[in-house]
Amino acid sequence: MTHGMVSAPQPEAVETGLDILKAGGNVVDAAIGAALVQTAVDPQMCGIAGFGSCHLYLADQGVHELIDFHGRAPLATRPDMWADQIVRECDDGFGFVLKGEVNEIGYQSMTTPLTLRAFDEALKRYGTRSLAESLQPAIAYCEEGFLVRPHVHGFWSRGSECGRIARIRGLTDDPATAKIYIKPDGSMYQIGELLRNPDMAQTYRRLAEAGADDFYDGKIARQISDDMRTNGGLLCLEDLAACETETTQPLWTSYRGYDVATNPLPGGGLMIVIMLNILENFDLAAMGHNSADYIATVSEAMKIATVDKDTHMGDPRFFDVPMEELMSKDYGRRMADRIKRGEKTSVPRLNEGGAESKETTHICVADPRGNCVSMTHSLGSSSGVVTDGLGFMYNNCMMVFDPRPGQAGSLAPGKARFTALSPTIVLKEGKPFFLVGAPGGTTITMGNLHAILNAIDFGMSAQEAVAAPRFITTSDTVEVTNRIFRSTERELQARGYPTQRQAYSFVAPTVHGIRIVDGKLDGGADPSGDGMAASV
């Protein structure tokens, strides 16, 4: 009997999820237990002081909802506090470079930490295991150590890009962080070496004993607040006490007879809806997968959704988003007609080029009865800050706010930033057919779109859908991976499309998915990462 399937970028997390399913846990138990292991073995990609979006379809419990846990700007935030520190916009148009990189690294770069709250709530509502039980595998990896994987080491070694800092600074600038991630001789841990984090293990043991509330209004909260106050941070006890998730209903659209459910703002699901509504007006299968016609058509849909994102999408609590218009099928038809007329959409950018930071992770869990979890969670690109003795790293999500007052993405206390996190579930005849999600910054929505099109229009398995050659168009330039034929690229150029060829065969986002056909599961893990999909 198949208990279920797990797909994730970390084999350790996949194995943990499978162990939980085999022991009788449900998909929520497996997802949260695996996600906590991700915080231990991928500690700059995600953590309990991060943010995310959890999409739950629980057939056994009659539940279909999302737990949104996007962090919010601290109460001490002022709309103009960084207006005089702007150096320039990042090359990818995603965030700004400020003097001293105060929004990217260090004690002012953090939004409120909601991940632990979300994990605890998911378990209490829909799991069968306690937080204390779910923490045990993560504690073991913290105490016994994990082998540094190529993907982890690659992030640590990443140089300066898009105007951002070299990531090694996230390990070395803060003494409490360096104590964990830098060896006594001053060198960095190498691939295959064992890294232990006993301070994180101690914190997790404390949380297992005292509960998640200790993080938000107990002993750990006071340690966090004291550290922030000592080092000029914006977070305070009042911010921690105010940390609340938001339970939301999915955004819906239909696509070629399938129903597609995705997450609302401030997540990126609205972009998925817009692109599918446009592309439904084309016979993509007849064009041929990754033909010049296909790439040009899908790229135009990507560009239209990107312009809509830049212009209209923000935190609905602070910004009036024309949801009815953007989600309508009529809008999709009108945008499709523009593409059919040969109109090219231009994506305005102050600076061109570069790839956005991709420090995020994802997990998919499903069982044969149609219970599914698709969850993306993140630290942004991580602040580099660890409170001495606590072991976990904080997010740096203040980085993407616009420091110019009066803009859609401007700073404001209690405001969430837009993210492309878009865990999505496709249903066929009212039952889950394909769940998908990815880390990868602004490219997340594009990777998820590719996987959905591959599964529906081209009938691919989950592994084929997440591994097929991709292109990403979030500016006027079509970025193609090295497996897109050069003859196709030349044809795109002849049509007036600027292109940029990646040296890599697989690039971000790192898409993961599970397909359910007649109660049978097949999973996919993007070959660009270290991950896997497996069943038990």
| Cβ pair 50, 115 in contact under 8 A | yes
- Could you tell me which of 112, 189, 138 has the C-alpha nearest to residue 13? 138
Residue type at position 94: F
Residue 168's contacts (CB-CB under 8 Å, 6 or more residues apart) are 156, 157, 188
Q: Which residues are 58's β-sheet partners?
A: 63
C-alpha–C-alpha distance, residues 80 and 412, integer Å: 9
Give the chain's end-to-end CA distance (angstroms, integer). 8
Torsion angles phi and psi, residue 92, rounded to 5: -95, 5
| Cβ pair 27, 58 in contact under 8 A | yes
SS3 177: helix
User: What are the CA-CA distances from residue 115 to residues 17, 449, 531 (Å)?
Assistant: 18, 25, 22
Residue 320's contacts (CB-CB under 8 Å, 6 or more residues apart) are none
Which listed residue (360, 376, 445, 488) is catalytic?
Answer: 360
SS3 533: strand
Question: Is 172 tagged catalytic?
Answer: no
Residue 236's contacts (CB-CB under 8 Å, 6 or more residues apart) are 74, 75, 76, 225, 228, 229
Sign of CA dihedral 206, 209, 213, 217: negative
User: What are the CA-CA distances from residue 507 to residues 359, 444, 481 (Å)?
Assistant: 13, 11, 7
Helical H segments across 258-328, by residue range: 269-279, 284-287, 292-312, 323-327
C-alpha–C-alpha distance, residues 465 and 524, integer Å: 8
Sheet with 251-255, edge to edge strand ranges: 251-255, 258-262, 424-428, 431-437, 512-517, 520-525
Torsion angles phi and psi, residue 250, rounded to 5: -70, 155
C-alpha–C-alpha distance, residues 403 and 330, integer Å: 35
C-alpha–C-alpha distance, residues 52 and 243, integer Å: 13
Give me the active site residues, please.
360
